[in-house]
């Protein structure tokens, strides 16, 4: 849905549709050629990305996955400017639930972990 904000997309279509579009956009990007003299490429994915990561791509010479974390993650974070993934749950509870689900995936995928 071009021309629709992330918040509107979540409200109209839900997280599942957002994640499908996110995966499609990443696969399109990774299939695009990169000039030989291009600087090293960096791709930042959001915490909720749950699609596959490529084994290889013309986009990357080498794929490194960096998990960026904060010491405050244990206590939780609330983002007031992001769409709610589960409007029926309070933001802090939602953060802790998602973090518990996501942390094992981050650990399994990460080449490096950076604590900010």
The model's pLDDT over 14-70, given as tens digits with 9 standing for 90+, comes to 888 988 988 888 888 877 777 778 787 777 777 778 877 776 666 666 777 888 888
Phi, then psi, of 111 in degrees rounded to 5? -80, -40
Q: What is the CA radius of gyration of the chain?
A: 16
Indicate the helix (H) or strand (E) that contains 71.
Answer: none
CA distance 41 to 35: 11
CA torsion angle 57 55 105 11 (round to 10): 40
Residue 26's CB is within 10 A of a number of other CB atoms, namely 19
**What does pTM read for this prediction?**
0.68
The conformation of residue 57, written as its DSSP 8-state character, comes to: B
């Amino acid at each position: 849905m071009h021309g629709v904000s992330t918040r509107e997309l979540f409200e109209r279509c839900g997280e599942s549709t957002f994640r499908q579009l996110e995966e499609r956009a990443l696969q399109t990007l990774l299939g695009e050629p990169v000039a030989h003299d291009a600087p090293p490429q960096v791709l930042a994915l959001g915490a909720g990305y749950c699609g596959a990561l490529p084994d290889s791509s013309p986009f990357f010479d080498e794929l490194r996955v960096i998990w960026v974390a904060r010491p405050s993650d244990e206590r939780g974070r609330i983002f007031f400017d992001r769409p709610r993934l589960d409007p029926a749950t309070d933001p802090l509870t939602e953060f802790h639930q998602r973090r518990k689900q996501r942390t094992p995936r981050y650990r399994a995928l990460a080449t490096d972990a950076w604590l900010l």
